[in-house]
Copies of this chain bind each other. A is one copy, B any other.
Amino acid sequence: MRQSELFTKVSRAAPKDEVALNAELLTRGGFIYKNSAGVYSFLPLGWRVIQKIAGIIREEMNAIGGQELFMAALHDKRYLKATKRWDVGVVFKVVSGGKDAGEKEPGFNISWTHEEIMAEIGTKYVSSYKDLPFAAYQIQTKFRNEPRAKSGLLRGREFLMKDLYSFHTSEEDLFKYYDRVAAAYQKIFARCGLKAYYTLAAGGDFTASNTHEFQVVADVGEDTIYLCEKCEYAENKEISKLTVGGKCPKCGTGIREEKAIEVGNIFPLGTKYSEAFNLQFADEQGRKKYVVMGSYGIGLGRVMATIVEVMSDKSGIVWPANVAPFRVHLLALNGANGDAAYRALQDEKIEVLYDDRSLSAGEKFAEADLVGIPWRLVVSPKLGTKVEVKRRGENNAEIMDIKEVTKKLSENGLLQ
């Protein structure tokens, strides 16, 4: 797309009301707009990144048999009442609007989580062991009244989440699937350019048994993990009996402590929700049993923010190619016309942002570095018919024909 037509602009100045690096860079680059503390809108560049992350998640969820659905966000109070969670502090409740039409008691909350909804839907379609196992997921908004929403997209009061739910006849079957989800999650984070450690963690609001988190090492992380660098065994400090410098229980190497961001988590739910909603199946002998459930979450905005936190440099963001809003940033400098190069890239189906605006070369370079698209292409009068090609985050530029460029980019697997 032509940058002259993009309605957002890059801003030189840091926003005054942000302390988190992810929020600062994403705001300056025109990726997000802050509506309230912890509440953001995704602008066109940011929405393209979210859609790239969503596409990767969908592919990996479909590959393990996940069936995509889209559950309601407005939840009758019967759902959280059934699991005694209606009065949890982070739940946003809903009352009707008109001055006179106001309800005395809230009748709905907005989606804090969807375990209850999913379990109730399950009761409609599960009656026999033959109906199990299955798994369903969605990408939908969650709302949580976080008291400390100062970390940009890392901790929002409204955020997009992929939540997968699985349904099984036994714990054994659940844990078999649990391992498949863990492997799929590792693929997702790797494709997003993140190194995530599979970390043993405590139960929480959702389950009493141990759960697992996917933790990305980062100074701004709210979590602390004990980590073995050699075999990658990790535990959340909250539940860990390991000690810094002590031996890894798996391989004997020394344990170190790291701050980390939780980018995903997986929960064995057991029968908590199936008991609350009477989600039962008849086994092969006709005996009624409660369905065994698991749930598995990834915050899309948090993944985006984590990428920015761990992969930016002093000039701006450095997007991994798979999640970048565009693959190529084409800059036309000093009055040069980049239309021919723009068309050549489009003809090869390479996603390109074309900076066709009347700004100085210095301004265009600075803005391109901030926005962080993987490949920067320059046309200028002194280059003639050639193009200068540079990878974001690297210093060396090459000068080549546009045909060589498209060949190079497709060899690098950067086609759409």
The 8 A CB mask of A18-39 against B (1 = contact, 0 = none) is 0000000000001001011001
A411 at the interface (CB under 8 A from B): no
Of B70, B89, B120, B167, which contacts A96 at CB under 8 A? Answer: B89
In addition to A44-B68, A97-B145, 13 A-B residue pairs with Cβ atoms within 8 Å of each other are: A6-B67, A8-B125, A30-B125, A35-B72, A35-B75, A35-B120, A36-B76, A46-B69, A73-B158, A87-B98, A89-B101, A93-B94, A93-B96
A64 at the interface (CB under 8 A from B): no
- Residues of chain B within 8 A (CB-CB) of A95 are 92-95, 106
Interface contact A93-B88, CB-CB below 8 Å: no
Interface contact A74-B143, CB-CB below 8 Å: yes
Q: Which of A50, A87, A93 has the most CB of B within 10 A?
A: A93
A43 at the interface (CB under 8 A from B): yes
> How far is the CB of A81 from the nearest CB of chain B, in Å?
13
A157 at the interface (CB under 8 A from B): yes
A110 at the interface (CB under 8 A from B): yes
Query: Please, how many angstroms separate the alpha-carbon atoms of A234 and B51 in the complex?
Result: 39
Interface contact A74-B121, CB-CB below 8 Å: no
A249 at the interface (CB under 8 A from B): no
Interface contact A41-B97, CB-CB below 8 Å: no
Query: Please, how many angstroms separate the alpha-carbon atoms of A69 and B31 in the complex?
Result: 10
- Say how many copies of this protein the assembly contains: 2
The 8 A CB mask of A252-291 against B (1 = contact, 0 = none) is 0000000000000000000000000000000000000000
A222 at the interface (CB under 8 A from B): no
- A selection of 25 A-B contacts at a CB cut-off of 8 Å is A5-B65, A7-B125, A7-B167, A35-B75, A35-B120, A36-B72, A36-B74, A39-B74, A41-B70, A41-B121, A42-B70, A42-B71, A44-B67, A44-B136, A47-B68, A47-B69, A73-B73, A73-B143, A87-B97, A87-B99, A89-B97, A91-B96, A92-B108, A95-B106, A110-B110
Query: Please, how many angstroms separate the alpha-carbon atoms of A76 and B131 in the complex?
Result: 44
Interface contact B145-A71, CB-CB below 8 Å: no
Given contacts A47-B70, A110-B110, A125-B8, whether A96 and B145 have CB atoms under 8 Å apart is: yes
Given contacts A69-B42, A70-B41, whether A93 and B89 have CB atoms under 8 Å apart is: no
Interface contact B125-A9, CB-CB below 8 Å: yes
> How far is the CB of A286 from the nearest CB of chain B, in Å?
19
- Residues of chain B within 8 A (CB-CB) of A41 are 69-72, 117, 121
A134 at the interface (CB under 8 A from B): yes
A40 at the interface (CB under 8 A from B): yes
Q: Which of A151-181 contact B (CB under 8 A)?
A: 157-158, 167
A90 at the interface (CB under 8 A from B): yes
A314 at the interface (CB under 8 A from B): no
- Residues of chain B within 8 A (CB-CB) of A86 are 97
Given contacts A43-B69, A95-B95, whether A124 and B89 have CB atoms under 8 Å apart is: no
